[in-house]
Amino acid sequence: MKSFAPPFAIVLALAAFAFAGPVEAPAATPPAAAAKRFPMGRPGELKARLLGSPSAPEAAAWALEYAGLLEIGRLDPPARAAERLWAARVGLAAAGPKAPERKRLQELMASLEGAPLDSIPIKRAAEGLTRVGVVVPLSGRYERYGKTFVNGIRLATEEHNRDWEPTLHLILHDSEGDPLIGARKARWLLKDHGVSVIVGELFTANTAPLAAATQVIGAILLSPSATNERLATLGEGVFQLHLGPWASANALATHLGGQFPKGTAALLVAPGPDDSTRALLVADACRRAGIGIVGVEKIPGDASDATKPIGALRAKNPNALVLLAPAKTVGVVAAQLPSSWPGVRVYGFDDLDPEGLNREARAALEGATLFLSDYALAGALRDSFEVRYQQSYGEAPTRMAVRGYLAGLAIARAVEGGAATASMLREALRAQVYETEEGRTFRALRPVVPAFAERLVIRGGRAVNPDAPTPAPPAKSETKPGTP
């Protein structure tokens, strides 16, 4: 991007002075846009009107008002000049020969036409936030993940487009699961399509090149599933749809509070740093949910006999046992629960997944509840999303589909709230970040709709959705034994 020469700062100052002051508001809403809602806030509304109805009789007035808004004046110099130049061009194209705004628009455009602007801010100004770049694997080994993610984000943008202006368009690029290919596709989106926001990648290693590409030109990157806190250090415009241990701990504690009002829990914890940290988060979340912690016992990671710490916790008679340990240790503890603590209610996280445990441990954990590091929609929203997804794509939504839906909603809500440029989108997404230390470190976004850590229950040796209907047993065949 070219840098600004000092004289251009004077030009910008003169342009701002010439177009400051009151401007007459548009007289009427174009009939074509009357059925839809416009973003809140004048910048977002005017930008949407100019993008959606550039030939409307009121477009010249909208353009002049938009160029003089304080919010536009606060943008960085390249973006400010590009937005004003774009608005002037649109306004002049719509203004009649005798339009009262014509002279002022011509003066504005003349003051900016000679500015040494790079083509990228001009393209971004002309597109606003209407074009959302998506870089995910759409072929190869991870094709399934990418395609279901795209299905989810499509549903979110369709919801927005049905009721709101401006219309959002997804520009899809296949990363093929390769970070170098993904970076090249991101550059195409930023330079050729003028996008101001990119959603991608699905894997942490592939996300870093996208983050670097967007931050060079002040665009936004929303990562739907990366888990590396260092991504946020690449720039202020990098955000993650990251569900950290603090969020899943809160989900577990909230569930316990509903199951055992004013009840108690005991924690059996492996000594590793991750499990110890999670134990602190769980204990704090439980106390805030009204669940008392009656005991915490540690079990060595290489232990083969867990009966002593199990017995110590059982003696305190808690309502629930929270097991925080690696899968290998979970298997050791689980196998000893039937004899050491029969009937105990066990809770935990991903390491309780029976898929990696032996048959004895799976049987011992029957009925245990685990919370995953994946989002699940809640209540009526979950049901309506599943119905719409099934109708649109002929299959049940996946976890990646839910992440796509939440990523799309994060952008849509920011636009509906008035974000009109990349810097405005960045500020709007900052307001969606979890207000916790880890949330700020990862710049992790809170879902804008009810969504929580996914809860599963172990039944028949498998972790299943507890709200899903139990499948009916297969009908008995009337074919006689031995009949082919």
The string of pLDDT tens digits covering residues 53-109 is: 999 999 999 999 999 999 999 999 999 999 999 999 999 999 988 889 999 999 998
pLDDT digits (tens, 9 = 90+) for 209-245: 999 999 999 999 999 998 887 888 899 999 999 888 8
CA distance 106 to 446: 44
- Which is more confident, 147 or 12? 147
Mean pLDDT of all residues belonging to the chain: 88
- Asked whether residue 476 carries a pLDDT value surpassing 50, the answer given is no
Which region among 134-143, 427-436, 459-468 has the lowest average model confidence (pLDDT)?
Answer: 459-468
3-state secondary structure 364-380: HCCCCEEEEEEEEECHH
Q: What is the pLDDT of residue 463?
A: 94
Whether residue 308 is predicted with pLDDT greater than 70 in this model: the reply is yes
Does 5 have pLDDT greater than 80? no
At 28 the pLDDT is 40
Whether residue 484 is predicted with pLDDT greater than 70 in this model: the reply is no
Helix (H, G, I), strand (E, B), or coil: what is residue 342?
coil
Predicted TM-score (pTM) of this structure: 0.86
Q: How sure is the predictor about 116, in pLDDT bands with cuts at 50, 70 and 90? A: low
**Residue 321: is its pLDDT beyond 90?**
yes
Among 23-37, 71-85, 244-258, 320-334, where is mean pLDDT lowest? 23-37
What is the pLDDT, as a whole number, of residue 229? Answer: 79
Question: Among 164-178, 301-315, 363-377, 413-427, which stretch is predicted with the lowest mean pLDDT?
Answer: 301-315
**223, 211 contact by CB (below 8 A):** yes
pLDDT in tens, 250-270: 999 999 999 999 999 999 999
Listed ranges 171-175, 203-207, 463-467; the one with the highest mean pLDDT: 171-175
At the topology level, CATH places domain 246-375+458-464 in: Rossmann fold (3.40.50)
Asked whether the predicted pLDDT for residue 24 surpasses 60, the reply is no
Q: Kindly report, residue by residue over 117-174, the tens digit of the pLDDT.
A: 678 899 999 999 999 999 999 999 999 999 999 999 999 999 999 999 999 999 999 9
Does residue 10 register a pLDDT over 50?
no
Q: What is the mean pLDDT of residues 341-354?
A: 95
State what percent of residues in the chain have pLDDT above 90.
75
Query: pLDDT category, 469, cuts 50, 70, 90?
Result: low
Q: Where is 242: in which H helix or E strand?
A: none
pLDDT of the residue at 65: 96
What is the rounded distance in angstroms from the CA atom of residue 103 to the CA atom of residue 288?
Answer: 63
Q: Which fold has domain 131-242+377-449?
A: Rossmann fold (3.40.50)
Q: Which of 440, 353, 451 is nearest to 402 (CA)?
A: 451
Residues 439 and 433: beta-carbon distance below 8 Å = yes
The share of the chain scoring above pLDDT 70, in percent, equals 88
Contact 34, 387 (CB under 8 A): no
- Residues 6 or more apart from 133 whose CB is under 8 A from it? 171, 173, 186, 189, 190, 193, 195, 197, 198, 199, 200
- How many C-beta neighbours within 10 Å does residue 60 have? 25
Strand partners, 293: 265
Question: Does the pLDDT value for residue 301 go beyond 50?
Answer: yes
Predicted pLDDT at 482? 37
* Confidence (pLDDT) at 268: 97
Domains 131-242+377-449 and 246-375+458-464 equal at CATH topology level = yes
| Domain ranges, ordered by start, for the chain | 6-127, 131-242+377-449, 246-375+458-464
One-character DSSP codes across 257-302: HHHSTT-EEEEEE-SSHHHHHHHHHHHHHHHHTT-EEEEEEE--TT
